Amino acid sequence: MTDAATAVATAHPNIALVKYWGKQDEELVLPLAGSLSMTLHIYPTTTSVSRRPTAAADTVTMDGLPATEAVARRVVRFLDLIRQRSCCGDHAAVDTRNTVPVGAGLASSASGFAALTLAAATAYGLNLNPRGLSRLARRGSGSAARSVFGGFALWHAPDPDAPDPDTASYAETLAGVRVDAALVAVLLDTGPKPISSREAMRRTVATSPLFPAWLSDTRLDLPRMRAALQAGDLAAAGEIAEDNALGMHATMESADPPIHYLTGQSYRVLEQVRALRAAGGNCWATMDAGPNVKVLCPADQAAHIAEQLTTATGHRTIVARPGPPARLHPHPKPAR
Ligand code: 2P0
């Protein structure tokens, strides 16, 4: 086995300030609307991919243990996509090391598929630029398209009448951001989620009477968020982010049957964020496909806000600053 047959990559999770919730194409993972996120410096995922020319099947492990059947199936389908684009049909051994609690709304699928994309594309000799990597990561998990990039990333939705919508849907770094922001994550529950975001998104699009309104609102939020970040206006960005997240949750809560990711604890944290704001604090909440609340605030106030939230709610907090792009490890040891 040569080094070229093994590649190791690390990627970080991201949290959307303008959310992705709804696909126009399930197979190609094309979103109905664009989204904008901050990559976090915490909770990286590291994935190694080793081509195994003589193996009869792929093997998928997480932290050294066999992955669940559902995870393994999704990884193998993704490797099939890579093999279609490569001249090499070898099976592979994939091992993933996560530091983020899986399935708790802290975006392990984003960091996971971004790291897998970079490692697998390298091990199979695909020569992709960041945009190509982002398009490919999108096929694994939509939000992974954004974790290819550090800082703030914008993921484009293709026009429905674009000649090649697959080519038109990629993320890129949002240039010219002038805010110095952090996200304080309030950690409520690290258990698995009640319903996958993929299924929840599908049900929301199909059954929520609020979905059309959500879609037009989020399409307006995207350029406003971009302008706020580029103008250095964190207060405007925070207000848009909190409204966008509450709108997404209201939309899924009106699906049939309803989808509830937020718990009583989440709503109590939200009340505390509002109370801090009423007392003059600069903090705004956002929530994803899980109960945890993430609080956007100025970087130099994050430690103080984290302390205030821990005191007020009794929950653990962690401060995340903007994180780096996905990266390849220079000299991976071939996996055994
Ligand atoms: C986001 N989320 O923009 C939104 C907000 C969760 C809430 O993207 O079906 O794992 O694999 O494309 O990316 C989580 O969904 O879904 C997500 P798929 P994904 O971050």
The distance of Cα 109 from the centroid of its chain, to the nearest Å, equals 7
Helix (H) or strand (E) holding 319: strand 316-320
Q: How far is the CA of 214 from the centre of ligand 1 (A)?
A: 16
Same domain, 38 and 148: yes
Q: Kindly report the protein residue whose alpha carbon is nearest to atom 14 of ligand 1.
A: 197
In the prediction, which pLDDT does 99 show?
A: 84
Residue owning the nearest CA to atom 17 of ligand 1: 143
3-class DSSP state of 185: strand
| Together in a domain, 13 and 144 | yes
Residue finishing a domain among 147, 176, 205: 176
pLDDT tens-digit series, residues 279-293 = 999 999 999 999 999
Residue 104 has pLDDT above 60, yes or no: no
In which band, very low, low, confident or very high, does the pLDDT at 197 lie, cut at 50, 70 and 90? very high
What is the position in ligand 1's atom list of the atom closest to the CA of 138?
Answer: 12
Protein residue whose Cα sits closest to atom 11 of ligand 1: 141
So what's the pLDDT on residue 191? Answer: 66
Domain harbouring 89, CATH code: 3.30.230.10
Say yes or no: 148 and 205 in one domain.
no
pLDDT score for 218: 98
Identify the H or E element spanning 295: strand 293-298
Residue 6 identity (one-letter amino acid): T
Instruction: Please give the residue range of the domain that contains residue 315.
Output: 181-320
For residue 20, the ligand 1 atom closest to its alpha carbon is 3
Q: How far apart are CA 181 and CA 183, in angstroms?
A: 7
Q: Which is more confident, 3 or 130?
A: 130
Write the CATH number for 291.
3.30.70.890
pLDDT computed for residue 302 by the predictor:
98
Give the number of domains in the chain: 2
Binding-site residues, ligand 1, Cβ < 6 A:
16, 19-21, 29, 35, 109, 141-143, 197-198, 201, 288-289
Q: What is the mean pLDDT of residues 239-260?
A: 98
Q: Name the residue with the closest Cα to ligand 1, atom 8.
A: 143
Q: Answer yes or no: do 204 and 143 share one domain.
A: no
Q: Average pLDDT of 226-255? A: 98
Per-residue pLDDT at 262 exceeds 50? yes
Q: Rounded CA gap, 208 and 96, in Å? A: 35
Mean pLDDT for the stretch of residues 203-215: 98
